[in-house]
């Protein structure tokens, strides 16, 4: 009987492993529905598998289903409250959903576990900026960039904060840094255009706006200028 139980347990573990590998393979092939189906089968066998819940959060994020992505991360941190990546990612997604107070709490949980997590510092900066706490947000951007000077998102958030503080020259420099690191970032091109427009450099601004629209036509509704 003991042998049969051990054999059964081994069989279940083999099944979980095979399903996870299959789900991961579908994920790498951008077959997200198929991947989720495999991962759901794993969770039927092992509901407390935080690795599976985390992968599902990534997949839902790629499918633009941010609420489900956050729900998956809720499972991760319930199972493993010390999962730094889950807290960090949750803060990022809640920012995207406009839930800035909740995002702030998630980033702070990540930073309790790892005070030098440059992504969590940047996420916290974004939340604070959206809550109009610009000077505090600026400090967190700088802390993030001290740890990773190549992290373009922190440069982008810093530039946006500087625009809010009406420091257009400094904002322009930050947007230019973003575009060195990520030349096809449409938001950075539109931000650079706005900084140039605020500095009275209209022709240069229009070129930046046009480049932003080439990269992301959906930005048109956010651009205030009618000259594009």
pLDDT, tens digit (0-9, with 9 covering 90-100), for 90-107 = 999 999 999 999 999 999
Residue 173 lies in a domain: yes
- Per the structure, the complete domain to which residue 228 belongs is given by 150-228
How confident is the model over 141-157, as a mean pLDDT? 98
Report how far residue 169's alpha carbon sits from residue 159's, in angstroms, rounded to the nearest whole number. Answer: 10
The larger pLDDT score, comparing residue 96 to residue 9, is at 96
Residue 54 lies in a domain: no
Cβ neighbours of residue 100 closer than 8 Å, sequence gap 6 or more:
94, 127, 130, 131
Q: Scanning the structure block, which residue is given the tokens 């996870």?
A: 20
Task: Write out the two tokens for 117.
Answer: 């997590």
Residue 202 lies in a domain: yes
Assign residue 167 the CATH number of its domain.
Answer: 1.25.40.10
Under the banding of pLDDT at 50, 70 and 90, the label for residue 224 is: low
Note the pLDDT tens digit of each residue in 67-88: 999 999 999 999 999 999 999 9
pLDDT at 11: 67
Residue 192 lies in a domain: yes
Residue 210: burial class (beta carbons within 10 Å; 0-12, 13-18, 19+): middle
Residue 50 lies in a domain: no
CA distances from 116 to 8, 112, 145, 184 (A): 44, 9, 11, 28
For residues 144 and 117, is the Cβ–Cβ distance under 8 A?
A: no
Total structural domains in the chain?
1
Q: How far is CA 19 from the centre of its chain?
A: 27
Residue 43 lies in a domain: no
Q: Which residues of 57-75 are buried (b: 16+ CB within 10 A; e: fewer)?
A: bbbbbeeeebebbbebbeb
Q: Scanning the structure block, which residue is given the tokens 């904002």?
A: 171
Under the banding of pLDDT at 50, 70 and 90, the label for residue 17 is: very high
How much is the mean pLDDT over the chain? 93
Residue 11 lies in a domain: no
pLDDT at 129: 97
Report how far residue 142's alpha carbon sits from residue 95's, in angstroms, rounded to the nearest whole number. Answer: 19
pLDDT at 2: 37
Note the pLDDT tens digit of each residue in 152-166: 999 999 999 999 999
Residue 172 lies in a domain: yes
How confident is the model over 172-181, as a mean pLDDT? 98
Under the banding of pLDDT at 50, 70 and 90, the label for residue 218 is: confident
């Amino acid at each position: 009987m003991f042998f049969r139980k051990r054999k059964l347990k081994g069989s279940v573990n083999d099944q979980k492993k095979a399903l996870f590998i299959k789900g991961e393979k579908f994920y790498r092939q951008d077959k997200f529905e198929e991947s989720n189906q495999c991962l759901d089968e794993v969770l039927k066998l092992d509901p407390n598998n935080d690795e599976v819940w985390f992968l599902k959060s990534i997949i839902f994020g790629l499918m633009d289903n941010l609420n489900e992505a956050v729900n998956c991360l809720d499972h991760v941190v319930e199972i493993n409250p010390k999962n730094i990546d889950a807290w960090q990612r949750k803060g990022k997604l809640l920012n995207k959903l406009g839930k800035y107070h909740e995002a702030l709490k998630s980033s702070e949980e990540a930073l309790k576990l790892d005070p030098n997590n440059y992504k969590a510092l940047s996420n916290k900066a974004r939340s604070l900026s959206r809550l109009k706490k610009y000077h505090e947000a600026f400090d967190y951007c700088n802390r993030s960039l001290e740890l990773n000077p190549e992290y373009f998102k922190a440069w982008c958030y810093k530039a946006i904060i500087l625009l809010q503080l009406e420091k257009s020259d400094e904002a322009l420099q930050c947007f230019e840094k973003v575009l060195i690191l990520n030349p096809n970032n449409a938001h950075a091109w539109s931000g650079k255009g706005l900084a140039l427009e605020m500095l009275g450099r209209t022709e240069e601004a229009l070129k930046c706006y046009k480049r932003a629209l080439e990269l992301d036509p959906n930005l048109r509704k956010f651009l205030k200028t009618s000259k594009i």
